[in-house]
Structure 1
């Protein structure tokens, strides 16, 4: 650009820009490796494929979580149903084993009757409640060997 000096305008900023552009051009001519690298198509495709792969795994994980939650809900419903059935069966069992039902069954079906106080007899036992251990005499050698092996096995915990 021609150097025109006008007091109304300062062209020095534009002159410096041209010089800086000229220096950058000289720098790239000296070192061609310093040029800005362009991204390759294969690199972009690889990154896109990686992103798609990660997104696919994330979606698959969400689907698995959803299926597990639905299975858990089904299992909880089945558990609640079984608990209700258990309560009804327990109440039915309590009703069938009620003392009045048992007495009625014993009288009507089995022909049993309640005891009167006159039928009760008390028995007294006059022997000592101490038990005596009688040791058998094993004179046989084979029986003694058998007992010895049994005690050895008991000692080692087999």
Structure 2
């Protein structure tokens, strides 16, 4: 039996570089940076950005800076956005079972959850936390992940 595929999805942020850059570098806010580190530690290479404008974006795809929030889209537009993102995830990963770790706000979660394929689950590590609490949780998680990584290295000798 193969291990459960974990896919990390990190919501875009308002703070961005002033020039085009890979999606993993374009967003500069502390919440995005922290979530990206935790998602990468937990999901390895299976991490992508959830962009209000571009949908699902691999970390190495270059984007121009833009100003668009999912909240500025109508309910119908958010539903279409969620369907497009889920369709692309299914196409990219082609697995019957997966766990999505979503580090994003409620509008992103609400757009994705109803469209989950059977056998897929969605986990919200930051659910119910305010911005400051999210930042603190991410900092604590990064510290724990780093400590675990150091312990693994020491055990390997």
Query: What TM-score do you get using the length of structure 2 for normalisation?
Result: 0.17
Larger proportion of helix? 1
* Larger RCO of the pair (alpha carbons < 8 Å, separation 6+): 2
Higher-Rg member (1/2): 1
Query: What TM-score do you get using the length of structure 1 for normalisation?
Result: 0.17
